[in-house]
Amino acid sequence: MAASSPRIARSVTRSTEAGLAFSARCWKKASPASAIVLAVATLAGQGTSRPPSGAPIRGLDHVPIAVNNLDAASARFRALGFTLKPGQPHANGIVNQHAKFPDGTELELITAPKATDELTTYYRESLAKGDGPAFLALFAPARTDSVQRIERDLPRYIFFGPRNASPTDLPEHFRHPNTAQSLISVWLAGADLSAEWNLLERLGAVMTHEVRDLPERTSMTVAKFEEGEVLLLPAARELVPGRRVMGATVRVRSIAFVERLRPGGVAPIVVRRPEGSSAFVKPEVANGLWLEFKEPAPAQTPPRRIPPTVP
């Protein structure tokens, strides 16, 4: 869905550093309980806490990817194995296509031919820098008073969505040749993500420090929600100056389809680890963002206990 009413506001940020230094400086800002969670996560490499129940944000909603040529971008995403559903016409001229997943998350290809209002003006400004993610929508199950208060202070590129289900959705819209099931991670990068760090914690995320393959080994802060996560990466991973969103992870049943692809003559980067396998498609062939297709490792069945034989 289009970002129909995002809060277009000035983002105020403060200086932080990536990796351990990033996390260490955040301890000073955090409450004592949050500092303990973050300290344990930094040492152990993963958090021990779960997002609190009743948090205003449950997880991810969708990522609108602004493209200059919607037909060409749609053909490229279909070649990557996504089934696309055409969007409804917008009065301001916006045109879009949706890659929808059963849990309500999605990737959206969107374009604005002309600047006719505040939203289309923002899209045209983004497109002047090239194709790529323009917004990050987080899933707010209910528009409570607290959610509406938080909306007034959101960075320019973040808004809240309800994971809209359309009456025109059909089962075939959710069947993707690449076996995509859900949008599970969104990647942000920049020299100063302190405003995002504070916002995500305020929204109920558990903040941890980890090192992951994206596709190279990268030190990052992870904001974990009940349904999805936001990765805060160092400035070295930024693709376009000032554009925070630079990647997304989609859970798939199998990476076999994507692994065989050669989009633009470029083979995906495949990383296999005990916790699962990933195929990464580079930004130059995914309209300005890293796309990770992640196949989790099969759940391990605990060995069956055989009671001792009584003589």
The pTM of this model reads: 0.82
Residue whose C-alpha is closest to residue 201's, from 83, 39, 56, 43: 56
Cβ atoms of 15 and 192 closer than 8 Å = yes
Asked if the structure places residue 116 within a domain, the reply is yes
pLDDT at position 55 is: 85
Asked if the structure places residue 237 within a domain, the reply is yes
Q: For 54-91, what is each residue's pLDDT tens digit? A: 789 999 999 999 999 999 999 999 999 999 999 998 99
Asked if the structure places residue 302 within a domain, the reply is no
Which CATH number belongs to the domain containing residue 213 in this structure? 3.10.180.10
Enter the tokens of residue 231: 């990765």
**Full domain range(s) for residue 196:** 24-296
Asked if the structure places residue 230 within a domain, the reply is yes
d(CA 132, CA 82): 17
Asked if the structure places residue 303 within a domain, the reply is no
pLDDT at position 264 is: 84
Look at the chain and report how many structural domains it folds into: 1
Q: What is the mean pLDDT of each run of 10 residues along the chain (311 residues)?
A: 45 29 38 39 45 83 98 98 96 97 98 97 97 98 93 95 94 98 98 97 97 96 98 97 98 98 92 96 97 92 67 61
pLDDT at position 263 is: 86
Asked if the structure places residue 311 within a domain, the reply is no
CB count within 10 Å of CB 209 equals: 25
- Angle, to 10 degrees, between the axis of helix 19-29 and the axis of helix 194-202? 60
Cβ atoms of 255 and 278 closer than 8 Å = yes
Asked if the structure places residue 228 within a domain, the reply is yes
Asked if the structure places residue 5 within a domain, the reply is no
pLDDT at position 50 is: 63
